[in-house]
Structures are given as C-alpha cells and as structure tokens.
Amino acid sequence: MSKLAQYFTGVAAKRLSAVETNPETSNQHEFNGIRPMTLLFGTQRTNLACTYIYFDEDEDKTLTADGFLTWYDARENHLNRTEYRLYFQGNAVMELAISGDLLVIGKRPDDRVIAVIAKKGTTVERQLLWLFDIEDSVDRFTVSAITGDSDRQIGYAERTILETLGLETEPEEATKWIDLLLGKYGLTFPPTRVFSEFARQTLTDVSAWDEPDKTLLAWINQEEMLFRTLERHIVQIRIDKGFTDVDDFVEFSLSVQNRRKSRVGFALENHLAEIFNQYGIGYSQGKVTENKARPDFIFPNIAQYHSSTFPVEKLTMLGSKSTCKDRWRQVLAEADKIDHKHLFTLEPSISKNQTDEMRHKRLQLVLPKNLHQTYLSSQQEWLMNLSEFIDLVSRRQ
C-alpha cells in the first residue's frame, strides 16, 4: 500500500495576504518564510523548480504554470539574525490569487515543488486542509514533514486529491495482475460493464450484503487499479511507437483522458446497480423522465414514475457522479415529479458552501461511509451513506 511520503516529503501552508497578492500594495513577489521551513528547503539559498496550480470551484478555471521558487535568507550576512523568504516569479497563477486564498507549498521527493493556490471556500481547499491536516485559519506559514502519523496510507480519498494535483498513484500490487489482464483482454479495453464484473470477481473477501459501503469502495478501488495497470501497458506501447506530429500526440493524449473520465462514471453506476440487484431493489437505469432527461436511477421503476396513480412520495431518484465539482446542479433538472432528490458521489471533502446549497435545493448527498470522515463534523450529521439509502428505497418498495 502506497503512502503519502512517496509523493510529498513535507508541506508549508498559509492564507495569502493582500501584501502578497495585490500588485498595488507590493511588487516584491515574496512570501515571508519562517525558520521551520528550513526542514523543507535547508539553510542555504536555493532555486526550486516549481509547478504552480490555481483551483476555483469551476474545473474549467483550473490553471497551471511552470517556474521557480527561490528560498533565501535576506539577512544571510548578519551574524545573529535570519529572515527567510520565498521569492516567486510573476505568472498567470499568481495573478489570479487574492487575499484569503489558501497556499500550500509541497516538497516532492525529487526536490521539485508544487505551489497550490485554492480559492477560499472551494472543495479543493477543503480537500487540501484534510489531506495535510492543516488548520483552517493559518495567517503565517505552518510547516509539517510527512512522517509518522502524518504519513497516511493512500486510500480512495487520498488518491482522488493527489490526482487532482496531477500526481499519478500506483498501488504496489498492480504489477502482479498484468499477465492475467493481457491473457484475458490482450491489448484492448473491454466494455466498462464487462470490466466492472471482472473486477468484482477478483475480490472474494467483501460482501455487498454485509457491508455495502465498504464493498462498493473495494470494487471501485479494484477496478481502478486493474484498469490503470492495463492502461499503462497499452499506452506505453503507443508511446514507444512514437507520434507523427504534435496534433497526433495531442489527439492521443485527449483520448486517454476522456476514456478515464467516462469510464470511472460508468464503473460507479455498474457497481451501484449490482448492489441494488443483490438487495432485490427494483429500479430503472438511464430512462427518460421529462424533457429528455435521463436520471441515473429511478426507484422503483420508470413505469411507476410515469403512472398517474402511483404515490409520488414512494418515488426516489438517485444521480451518480464520481466527482461533483460544480456539476451537481445538473441533477436538479432531472425527474421533475420528485421534489427531494438524491446524489451519490465518491468526492471527498466537498466544501461547506456547496453542501449548504445542496441542502437548500433539497438534494441529499449520499456517499460511502468511509468517506464521511473527510467532511466537517457539521456536514457529517447531514450526509447519508449507502446502507441508509438502501434502507430508504427498500421501505418505499
């Protein structure tokens, strides 16, 4: 099982101030450092290759830029005084930063640095605070080395956040499956439904009937590991073959990204459907309600939904999105007859702003019980887990 220290050796975090972000206030392009940051950067002047990333709630506004950070002591010639600073180059990411945004500077094992700026109140901000155990209010840098208790194992939530930062994760056991995968599928990707069933068959120590929340996450993790194992092998062969030009490379890269995004969403629906099947719960999947909308799941079925005599209070709609971001509002336009809707997701640490709006819009968030701990305690009181949702639809049927 991989651990966080394989991706970061330490982090420093703070809330940005007006002095650091407002060009009318300061053009120095510097963060004031503190002595504990020498644990990450040492005591000597050093230039660090840095990837800057900016996150808004809107995925389309994510921005990256490559550059450098310079760590130095502004009083290096003074015998009894130190004044550490981090100088940053002006770039498109820093131009978007405003006072109050969260800055997390992560030191990688290869000595590269990632400087992440998350807009205040966003889901990515909450995810970073949870992953690195950072206090919400940090006006000065707080520093932590990724060791001991802070060197957490990489589970689904951790992997999701790391991949949001552009970091690939690979379970140590992945390589042992490649011969089985190649023998079964060769150099092709099977249909998602087929691959989901195969992933479930390779796990014999979980039971949807006993622990649906735990089982769903285990299935998802297993399918993700198997898919990435097969994908790495197939993609590496294509890379070794080479590309005719830039357009050829870009087209291939986009196809890989799009396949990943669409596949994980379908995989989640496949595993949810299997759990409902095992519980004998009636449902219709992807059927039309109004205005050509196709909710992921309607309970007990689409015929009852369209019936003028079936009690509306016994109808249930469940949307399914592996990640929510700002797309959860799409669910509100599906199944007009159902006033109180449900949405299943695997997204950890959704911001309180978002969950408050969901509650106001009468959208109940459902997610595996193990992911509830990534949320604030005030949010956890409202969240529903898969077992509770199964109980709800079972009673209505």
Each residue's pLDDT tens digit, 10-54: 999 999 988 888 666 555 688 888 899 999 999 999 999 999 999
pLDDT of residue 75: 80
- Dig out the tokens for 83 from the structure: 């004044």
Residues of the chain with pLDDT below 70 are 1, 22-28, 79, 171-173
pLDDT of residue 24: 60
pLDDT of residue 23: 62
Helices 212-241 and 192-201 meet at what angle, rounded to 10? 120
pLDDT of residue 1: 64
Torsional class of 347: left (φ above 0), alpha (ψ -120 to 50), beta (otherwise): beta
Domains of the chain by range and CATH?
4-164 (2.40.330.10), 172-278 (no CATH), 284-396 (3.40.91.80)
Q: Are 366 and 386 in contact (CB under 8 A)?
A: yes
Query: Could you count the other beta carbons within 10 Å of the beta carbon of residue 255?
Result: 12
- Which residues neighbour 139 within 8 Å (Cβ) at sequence distance 6 or greater? 14, 15, 17
pLDDT of residue 19: 82
- Which residues neighbour 367 within 8 Å (Cβ) at sequence distance 6 or greater? 344, 345, 346, 347, 383, 385, 386
Angle, vertex CA 367, rays to CA 364 and CA 369, nearest 5: 125
